[in-house]
Structure 1
Amino acid sequence: MEQKNAKYVLDADLITLRSVVSVVDEGSFSDAAKRVGRSQSAVSLQIAKLEERMHIRLFERTSRSVTLTPAGEVFTAYARRILALADEAYAAVSSPVIKNPLRIGFAEYLVPHHLYKLLTRFKRLHPNASVELTLGVGNSLVRDLREGLLDIVVAGPEGEKGVLLMEEALVWVGPHDEHIELGEGRLELILMQPPCSYRKVAFEALAGYERPWNLSLSANSIQGTQSAVAAGLGVSVIPKSAVSKDLKILTHGLPALPRTSIQAFSNAADSHPLIEPFIAFLKEELAEVGVG
């Protein structure tokens, strides 16, 4: 291809880029077509024309699968960045000025390593929004919600039905750099203070456990729990998303634990315009976190 025409090769519209990304995310042209609201043939033609203009293949197609070529992987990464910038540009000029801040209560033990990244991405989509963040224990936050002090709470199951955002595993954890003998001696526990629901889960799991155990320390925060476990004071029960680098998951010699859920709670009477957008945003973002 002549150099003078090279700058025009990538004059692809956003619709085509969304089609490419949708094929990657959905794993097939038919599902991608449903996602973008076009026919399968239209999506196939879009991408075929793009491949022709660039003189590269983005996808390897078989009767059973669609996979990215090496060039396709590189192109898709750029396509995602372009689409994200386009969405931000639209949000910057179309997002209304919202006078009242969105008051969010977030249980600190949920996805702690991702929380501020999540809020950063939400702010990019809603640049005119103001957020007030409160971290705490789930049921205390729900109480504040019912008293009108918060607009939305993101927490584990708190005895009320919320909007399910994701499910994840509860795990036993110990210090990363130390070997814990789980077959003999007394098991030392590090748990969050009541009324943390994971404290109750740990006690219930240990009800039929033959090995003696002792509640060594009750911490008032997830950071305190993590630090105490990392220092070797004992083991704990926390969500998988809260496992930091200085902790390790213990998989043998301890009773099984149930899965837990992350839910969004809000007041039906609360009319803050960002409640529904924030819940929809969290559903999508937490699905990508994929903590299992």
Structure 2
Amino acid sequence: MPLNDLLAFVEAARAGSMTQASIRLGRVQSSVSLRIKHLEEKLGVKLFERTSHGLELTAVGSAFLPRARDIISQWDAALLQINHVNGSAVVNVGDYVVRKHDQQNAIISICYWNFYEHGLLPSL
């Protein structure tokens, strides 16, 4: 299950709207919708009810949301551990990732999570 699917699900649940989730994730709405559709197909359940007021979590979606957040948190923790061993640090700050490299020079770069996830950060 791709992490992008979980990120889309968690953000859509937080925002209550595909449009708002897509803005926060820096993706087009159709991409977020497709990620959630893929996740629902993989799990074999419906995570959201689409209503005139936006998105509402189903009972299954509500039960799954804390687990999805835990998986993302575990991923963040694994990245921190890997980077600690390598002598640098990556810290997830809300929707952003802050990467500190070369502690003596305190070089910091900030980017959206999806750039980091796809390895699109420039080398420092």
Is the structural similarity TM-score above 0.5? Answer: yes
1:243-288 Cα offsets, whole Å, 9 max, x none, are xxxxxxxxxxxxxxxxxxxxxxxxxxxx8849xx9xxxxxxxxxxx
The residue aligned with 2:62 is 73
Identity of aligned residues (%): 35
Pick the aligned partner of 1:53 from 42, 45, 48.
42
Deviation of 1:65 after TM superposition, in Å, equals: 2.0
Give ranges in structure 2 of 5+ residues lacking alignment: 93-103, 111-124
Structure 1 position 77, deviation (Å): 1.0
Q: Which residue of 1 aligns with 2:120?
A: none
Match of 1:173 in 2: none
Deviation of the 1:70 alpha carbon: 0.9
Offset at residue 53 of structure 1 (A): 2.6
The alignment of Structure 1 onto Structure 2 pairs a total of residues equal to: 97
Letter in 1 for 2:50: R
In the aligned structure 1, how far is the partner of 2:75 from the partner of 2:43? 22
C-alpha contact (below 8 Å) 2:5/2:35 kept by paired residues: yes
Report how far residue 97 of structure 1 moved: 3.9
1:83 aligns with 2:69: no
Q: Distance in 2 between matches of 1:76 and 1:68?
A: 9
TM superposition score normalised by structure 1: 0.30
Query: Which of residues 6, 17, 29 is equivalent to 1:28?
Result: 17
1:191-233 deviation digits (Å, cap 9, x = unpaired)? xxxxxxxxxxxxxxxxxxxxxxxxxxxxxxxxxxxxxxxxxxx
Q: Which runs of 4+ in 1 moved over 3 A?
A: 95-98, 271-274
Q: What TM-score, normalized to structure 2?
A: 0.66
Report the residue type matching 1:16 in the other structure: D
Q: How does 1:78-157 map to 2 (within 5 A)?
A: 78-95=67-84, 97=87, 125=91
Deviations 1:9-53 (A, max 9, x none): xxx110110000000112211111112221101111111122123
Opposite residue 60 of structure 2, the aligned amino acid is: A
Match of 1:266 in 2: none
Question: What residue is the counterpart of 2:5 in the other structure?
Answer: 16
* Counterpart-to-counterpart distance in 2, 1:66 and 1:51: 14
Give RMSD over aligned pairs.
2.8
Kept in 1, the 8 Å contact 2:5–2:38? The answer is no
* Aligned partner letter, 2:36: I
**Distance of aligned partners of 1:74 and 1:273 in 2 relative to their CA distance in 1, 3 Å threshold:** farther
DSSP 3-state at the match of 2:82: helix
- Larger Rg over CA atoms: 1
Shift of 1:67: 1.0
- Structure 1 unaligned residues grouped into runs of 5+: 1-11, 99-124, 127-270, 278-292
Provide the C-alpha distance between the structure 1 equivalents of 2:57 and 2:20, rounded to a whole number of angstroms: 16
C-alpha distance in 1 between matches for 2:47 and 2:26: 21
User: Which one-letter code corresponds to 1:53 in the other structure?
Assistant: K
Structure 2 Cα separation of the partners of residues 91 and 65 of structure 1? 35
Q: Which amino acid aligns with 1:69?
A: T
Letter of the aligned partner of 2:39 in structure 1?
Answer: L
Q: Which residue of 2 aligns with 1:184?
A: none
Matches within 5 A, 1:187-206: none
